[in-house]
Amino acid sequence: MTYQMTSMLIGVLVAATILWLVRRDHLHGPYAIWWIGTAIVVVLLGLFPGIFDYLAHYLGINYPPILAVLLGFALLLLKILTMDLERSRQERRIRRLVQRLALLEGRLFQQGIALGSDTGLTSHQQVSEGQTPAAEPSTGPNAAGCGQATTADQAITAAESRPDQGANRS
C-alpha cells in the first residue's frame, strides 16, 4: 500500500467517523465542518501529492513535508481561536442568564413567592397562612442558576395565575 492510498484511507475514515458522530448527535454542525474540511484536505493530498510539492516550492519551502507541519500548526491556532471566541460568547450568555434569574428571584421574593423554604410548607401554603416565605440563597451546584430555571418559571406562572396576590404585595 502506498502513502497515497494510506492518506486517502485515513481521510475517508475521518470523514466517515465525523458523519457518524454528527448523526448520533455527539458533534454539532460548526464543529463537524472543521473536521470534514480536514478529511477532505487529507483525501485530496492523498489523491494529488504533487499539489503539496508545488505549494511548498511556490512558498519557498525547500523540504515539502514541513509544509504539512506548518499548515497543521496554523490550523490548530485558528481552531483554538474560534473555540475561545465561542467559549467567551457562551460565558457571556450564561452570565446574563444568571443575572436574569437573580432579577426574577428578587421579584418573586418581593411578591412573597419562595423558591424553597425550611418550614416544609409550600409557598402557596405559606402565603395562604399569612407567613412570609423565605427564599433560599443560591449556593451549591445551583449557584450559577443551573437547574433553578424550572422552579423560577413555575413560581412565575403561579404568581401570574394569582393576580390578586400580586396586587396586594406591590
Q: Which of 120, 121, 124 is nearest to 111 (CA)?
A: 124
pLDDT of the residue at 121 = 45
Could you give the CA distance from residue 79 to residue 83 in angstroms, rounded to a whole number? 6
CB atoms within 10 A of CB 116: 14
In the chain (170 residues long), the average pLDDT of successive 10-residue segments reads 81 87 86 84 83 90 89 90 93 97 91 62 50 48 47 58 47
Residue 131's pLDDT is 52
Torsion of CA 101, 105, 111, 112, to 10 degrees: 150
Report the candidate in 61, 169, 89, 58 with the shortest Cα–Cα distance to residue 123. 169
Q: Specify the pLDDT at position 43.
A: 83
Q: pTM for the whole thing? A: 0.54
